[in-house]
Amino acid sequence: MKGNGVDLLLIDGHNLAFRSFYGIGPLSRGDGFPTNAIYGWIHSYWRLEDAIRPGRVAVAFDWGGSAFRREIYPEYKGTRRPMPEDLGKQLPLLREVSVLLGAGVLAREGVEADDLLASLAVRESAAGHSVAIASSDKDFAQLVSERIALWCPTYTAVQGWQPMDVRKKFGVEPGQMVAYLSLVGDAADNIAGVAGVGAKTAASWLQRYGTLEEIFLHRDELPRRLADNLDRAEEILQRNQRLIRFDLSQGGDWPTFPDQPRVEELRRFFRDYELRSLARTAATRYAHWRLPKPSALLRGRQSGSLEGEVELF
Q: In terms of domains, do 234 and 295 share one?
A: no
Q: Which of 225, 244, 263 marks a domain boundary?
A: 244
**Which tens digits make up the pLDDT trace of 158-213?**
468 899 999 999 999 999 999 999 999 998 889 999 999 999 999 999 999 999 99
Q: In terms of domains, do 43 and 191 share one?
A: no
Q: In terms of domains, do 97 and 233 share one?
A: no
**Which tens digits make up the pLDDT trace of 60-94?**
998 877 777 888 878 878 788 888 999 999 999 99
Q: Which of 244, 278, 302 marks a domain boundary?
A: 244
Half-sphere exposure of 82 (CA within 13 A, CB side): 4
Q: In terms of domains, do 229 and 265 share one?
A: no
Q: In terms of domains, do 272 and 223 share one?
A: no
Q: In terms of domains, do 272 and 206 share one?
A: no
Alpha carbon 188 to its chain's center = 14
Range of the domain at 266: 1-166+247-313
- Stated pTM of the model: 0.87
Cα distance from N-terminal residue to C-terminal residue, the chain: 17
**Which tens digits make up the pLDDT trace of 114-139?**
999 999 999 999 999 999 999 989 99
Q: In terms of domains, do 195 and 160 share one?
A: no
Q: b/e string for 117-142 if b means 16 or more Cβ within 10 A?
A: bbbbbbebbeeebbbbbbbbbbbbbb
Q: How far apart are CA 213 and CA 206, in angstroms?
A: 10
Q: In terms of domains, do 18 and 84 share one?
A: yes
Q: In terms of domains, do 57 and 205 share one?
A: no
Query: Do residues 254 and 106 make contact, with C-beta atoms less than 8 angstroms apart?
Result: yes
- What average pLDDT does this structure show over 23-42? 94
Q: Which of 205, 225, 244 marks a domain boundary?
A: 244
Give the CATH number for residue 223: 1.10.150.20
Counted domains in the chain: 2
pLDDT of residue 69: 82
Coil vs helix vs strand at 178: helix
Q: In terms of domains, do 143 and 193 share one?
A: no
Q: In terms of domains, do 50 and 191 share one?
A: no
